[in-house]
Copies of this chain bind each other. A is one copy, B any other.
Amino acid sequence: MSAFDELKAHLRVTCALEQVQGRLGWDQETVMPRGAADQRAEEMAAMEAVLHARRTDPRLGDWLAAVQAPDEAGAALIRHARRDYDRHARVPADLAEEIARETSRAQGIWAEARAKDDVDAFLPVLDRVLGLKRQEAQAMANGGDPYDALLALYEPGMTGAEVAALFDRLRPQLLALREAVMGAARQPEPLRGHFDRDEQIRIAQMLAERFGYDRTRGRIDMAVHPFSSGSGADVRITTRVDEGDPFNCFYSTIHELGHAVYEQGVAPDHALTPLGQGASMGVHESQARFFENQLGRSRAFTGWLHGVMAETFGDPGCGGAEGFCATVNRVHPGFIRTEADELHYNLHIMLRFDLERALVAGDLAVDDLEGAWNERFERDFGMAVDRPANGFLQDVHWSVGLFGYFPTYTLGNLYAGCLWRAMQADLPDLEAALGQGDPMPAVRWLGERVHRHGALRSPRETIAHACGSEPGEAPLIDYLTVKFGAIYGF
């Protein structure tokens, strides 16, 4: 066997084991008995021990030294393999195992702490996880910036400084837009009423079908925190139901469908290789946010959804389809990121980015996190956090060690803006299809331009290839200006 074939065979098993690890994560958040948490932490640590040994196997170094790429995909595979090998080889095996064990355990503790607003129960765990992740980041950074090393796990090729500069450019434009919106004479009402759980789930399942999700290679379950998990032939999503707010279910479902349809759309040739998944979490979020916002919250699609809601629950009473679209897109400050409108969403991310960067740098102690969060939140959103679950306890990310992940949401919004602009020229009839509740022309366009390529290209190149031009923030701001200008009349 050639060095390339040996390398690929080795990675195939590693990728299969990563799928197993992902399946355990799914199990933990959907069906695992609560008394199994400690044992599961040991199982996760064992899987991580196996994976770390495979990722740092010295033979990888030999193969990578001797390997020749047979083609473009082969070259991409080697790039991924080299980057992963270099990164993992710097992390001690016992640290990798300990992180897997602690983050598995921390997840349950976070969920309980959030349910009870129990800050004291959570802080020691967060402190341990942060300590371990800082060690890992320093090891991976190899003298460079630790935060950059973590960010690179989710968005290769991006640095914290670049994100900060981007956010500095975006922030005033978003604030100006928010001012225009909040000062507008026309202010939509929020949705009110009671929306039956089973009917919501039925509509969520219909949405899954309409957005092209293949249920024979996936499934939908309930979970506290909606997520998508798995690649290839087994890509599952979760959702949740709030009987007072059906948008929570519908739009978190559409969001996760964006992730899942992306994974399901990767060419089977790439399966069980490092190319057999999304190009980065930023590109992943671009698909999720595109599904959710550019498609799901468009005037045309909300028009169709208005009809579905009226038929199912009776007239939602927002003043017809036009008013319903305004209600869906209603801009208002709120505590919860996942429920935020498109303008406030990025402000939520900027807050988290600054705080997690300070945490990783050692400039902010875990004990001071709640205070720092609350102060910043009041400054940015003009309202005081009323309880920890509505503040720094709301997101699962930090408890499971996902420092460096949050910026990918805003990068996703930015990429989604670029894709939206590029799509306009190609799909003049998209609006008509969306008005019929049919997003498939857009899904197919994304499938062809983005999904099927998996991680063949870098995140930036993936978007540039799809759009025919380099990504930037202007299309996002244009999209938001046009959209909210139409709704709020400015």
Chain A residues with CB under 8 Å of chain B are 12-13, 16-17, 19-20, 23-24, 27, 31-40, 42-43, 45-47, 49-50, 214-219, 221, 232-234, 236, 271-272
* Least distance between A454 CB and chain B CB atoms (Å): 15
What B residues does A37 contact at CB under 8 A? 233
Measured CA separation A37–B34 after assembly (Å):
28
The answer to whether residues A50 and B234 also contact, given A34-B216, A219-B33 and a CB cut-off of 8 A, is no
User: Are A13 and B233 closer than 8 Å at their CB atoms?
Assistant: no
The answer to whether residues A39 and B218 also contact, given A17-B50, A50-B50 and a CB cut-off of 8 A, is no
Measured CA separation A217–B234 after assembly (Å):
26
User: Are A219 and B31 closer than 8 Å at their CB atoms?
Assistant: yes
Residue of B nearest to A27 (CB): B23
Copies of this chain, complex-wide, total 2
Measured CA separation A16–B35 after assembly (Å):
16
What B residues does A38 contact at CB under 8 A? 233
What B residues does A45 contact at CB under 8 A? 16
User: Are A36 and B217 closer than 8 Å at their CB atoms?
Assistant: yes
Residue of B nearest to A236 (CB): B33
* Least distance between A93 CB and chain B CB atoms (Å): 11
User: Are A33 and B216 closer than 8 Å at their CB atoms?
Assistant: yes
Measured CA separation A20–B216 after assembly (Å):
24
User: Are B217 and A42 closer than 8 Å at their CB atoms?
Assistant: no
User: Are A49 and B219 closer than 8 Å at their CB atoms?
Assistant: no
Residue of B nearest to A46 (CB): B16
Residue of B nearest to A231 (CB): B39
The answer to whether residues A19 and B39 also contact, given A217-B33, A234-B33 and a CB cut-off of 8 A, is yes
User: Are A20 and B35 closer than 8 Å at their CB atoms?
Assistant: no
Residue of B nearest to A54 (CB): B50
Contact check: which of B33, B217, B219 meets A218 at CB < 8 Å?
B33
Measured CA separation A216–B35 after assembly (Å):
5
Measured CA separation A43–B12 after assembly (Å):
10
**Can you list 7 A-B pairs with a CB-CB distance of less than 8 A?**
A17-B43, A19-B39, A19-B43, A34-B216, A35-B233, A36-B233, A39-B233
The answer to whether residues A47 and B219 also contact, given A24-B23, A35-B214, A214-B35 and a CB cut-off of 8 A, is no
Measured CA separation A31–B47 after assembly (Å):
22
The answer to whether residues A13 and B46 also contact, given A39-B234, A234-B36 and a CB cut-off of 8 A, is yes
Measured CA separation A34–B219 after assembly (Å):
10
Measured CA separation A232–B47 after assembly (Å):
18
9 tightest A-B contacts by CB? A16-B46, A36-B234, A35-B217, A35-B216, A39-B233, A36-B233, A13-B46, A16-B43, A16-B42
The residue among A24, A35, A216, A221 with the most chain B CB atoms within 10 A of its own CB is A35
* Least distance between A314 CB and chain B CB atoms (Å): 29
What B residues does A236 contact at CB under 8 A? 33
Residue of B nearest to A37 (CB): B233
Residue of B nearest to A216 (CB): B35
What B residues does A33 contact at CB under 8 A? 215-219, 233-234, 236
What B residues does A31 contact at CB under 8 A? 31, 219, 221
What B residues does A27 contact at CB under 8 A? 23, 27
